[in-house]
Amino acid sequence: MQQKTTRIARPLGLVILAAAISGAAVAEPKALGRFKDWAVFTEEKGGDLICYAATEASSKAPSSVKHGDVWYYVTSWKSGQARNQPSFRVTYDLKADKAPKTTIGRSSWQMFVAGRESFADDADDPRIVDALKKGSSLTVTAQSARGTNVTYRFSLSGSADAIAKAEEACR
């Protein structure tokens, strides 16, 4: 799998938590709108504008473990470093040698792990984003670094409008 060198996607809650823990001034993402189950944010990072559509998991399994925040994103950078890049992020480390899988309808894609986040191959990004816009639900299966198999479901209601808004914000 081809890995991109520049990855960014950060839910609002994690940014605020990091700022509170470190006591450092962290630029908070700016909310641009809510589209049913998806929200759109922009954020300045290193002089670049990052725009992303994001949704939080609507169900988490197994119910016997603490999952923390679980998000799915589609991110673009104004500079063009990334355009409509899907990613999945959790608040714990994922098992590096166990590829998470994104499934929408009958289509599925393997992702690669980068710590607490996972990404698809660059060549798969357009197909995943197209499926996100047209589908009704998304499932991600993964394994934590501790070996726990997890399954997350996400609603795709509002995804097409949110992705379009994030893309427009970073033109």
pLDDT digits (tens, 9 = 90+) for 95-112: 999 999 999 999 999 999
Give pLDDT, residue 26. 54
Reported for 39-42, long-range contacts at CB under 8 A and 24+ positions apart, including other chains, are: 39/162, 40/162, 40/165, 40/166, 40/169, 41/12, 41/166, 42/166, 42/169, 42/170
Whether the predicted pLDDT of 157 surpasses 60: yes
pTM of the model: 0.84
**Backbone angles phi and psi of 137, in degrees to 5:** -150, 160
pLDDT tens digits, 39-90 = 999 999 999 999 999 999 999 999 999 999 999 999 999 999 999 999 999 9
Q: What whole-number distance in Å separates Cα of residue 72 and Cα of residue 60?
A: 13
Which CATH architecture describes the domain 12-169? Sandwich (2.60)
**Element housing 129 (H / E):** helix 125-134
Give pLDDT, residue 160. 98
Give pLDDT, residue 63. 96
Give pLDDT, residue 165. 97
